[in-house]
Structure 1
Amino acid sequence: MPVAQVGGDPAGRVTADTPDGRGSSKKTRRRNKKPAAAPAAPLPSPMQRLFDTSREVFSESAPGFVPPPDAVERLAAILNDLKPRDVGIDPGMPFFRHAESKGPPPVTYLHFYDCDKFSFGIFCLPKSAVIPLHNHPGMTVFSKMLCGSMHLKSYDWARSNAESDTHTLASSDGARLAKINTNAVVDASSETIVLYPENGGNLHCFTALTPCAVLDVMGPPYSHTDGRDCAYYDESAYSSSDGVDIRYSWLKEIPSMFEMKGVQMPRRFVV
């Protein structure tokens, strides 16, 4: 069928004659059709966002490093949105059950990633399990409850400032004075807790009230080679001339018999 230019058409459109003499616009529609938009790139998974943001926040991590406030807010916001399904866990897993009738329930650490700048993983505690009072030397730690509930007790070392006017900072048996930072129950509705090298509850212990899981992002991570081992402490009441002061406790470093089972988890993100 011949193709003809239709005179008087300001757009110069090309049409085809039809048996009834009317031009068809089918080819016109094909030519004027806008190209289909490219499909949107898939959003990164929650674990990918966690990894990428942690790497950015701790890019300059070193002992004593404290991320700037805006970086703390970014990472805490990602952790606040995490759900157990995002990290591949659920309360029905065997890590949350205590099959033995004797001895304390075991704690399992699900290890996801570590480098010399930061690490992150999940502590899984059956009901009544305890992670004893311990420290995080030179570290900033983000802790987020994913499921269940636990009692959190944390301390910071008492410092040589106004406190030292009325408190002795060390005892004759080697214990140090610490001030309570947190003594409360936390659960999955609680926002991310951030502790810093010198404050925020750098020394803490967990007691599971129900089967529970808490995700920790730590920077820099523990390192035996660099002298950043985890130390454990026994606590005892502090008494001043006015009697027992519940805001403080004596903490004395002790050998630890605490052990955790470690499980290497498959990567759910691209490094």
Structure 2
Amino acid sequence: MAEVLDPPTREEPGLPGNEHELDPKPEWQPRYAGSGRLKGKVAIVTGGDSGIGRAVAVLFAREGADVAIMYLNEHEDAADTRKFVEAEGRRAICIPGDLGDRDFCFKAVQQVVDAFGKLDILINNAGEQHPDEKIEDITEQQLRRTFQSNIFSMFFMVQAAMPHLKKGAAIVNCTSETMYKGAPILLDYSATKGAITAFTRSLAKNLVEQGIRVNGVAPGPIWTPLNPSGGQPPEKMPEFGKKTPMGRPGQPNEVAPSFLFLACDDASYMTGQVLHPDGGNTTQS
């Protein structure tokens, strides 16, 4: 019998958000010419329709990878990302669905292998967040959905990918600065990011003898559809990212190179590590 999932929370109906509706648009375009660092590789990017995921997908394509774009329901954004990947001369497929559903994750990974013949890189980037001033305001439904989307999905995706990952493969998980700094209005989200970091470090040790590296990226405030679509209170958006030492939010194409570095052989002696493209935020006391 199929598992019955909790429905998506309706507290912020605009989530996860559409990039084509944002003004100004996030900067996802790669900033430099490719050098073949992922030549012949096949990558899955969850949440690859927009934001950081789009920037990662296109950068990976520029570096020679074919890319599977997994996303929830932002079909127009996903189609655009596919077009951008193909413009780099690589193949792309779009797979919509709920990553909190274990059966979907297994079917989606098999679809990727059927399409491209193999799997070398898994980028666990998808996630959701819902701001609440008080812990009493976090509903059971929201708590379950946030954990299901943010950390359960990573377990499911890795479980589905393992039969296909060989020596030299890489897994990169997206955690957050909130795991290190805390976030008073993102209690459930921050808790999942702490779990993701622990999962990353533990999985790295679990898979090291198989020659599979596992690392993480912990972005700071990045201009993506997530926050202006309900991931942050609207009254806080004018100041979004301005309290970082750099005084501004980051752009997706300032985060994607961290994923590339950890996914390619440049990071061959790194596992269980986390990179921090956060404008200096985690250096503050």
Normalising by the residue count of structure 1, what TM-score does the alignment of the two structures yield? 0.30
Between Structure 1 and Structure 2, whose CA radius of gyration is higher? 1
More helix by percentage:
2
Q: Which has the higher strand share?
A: 1
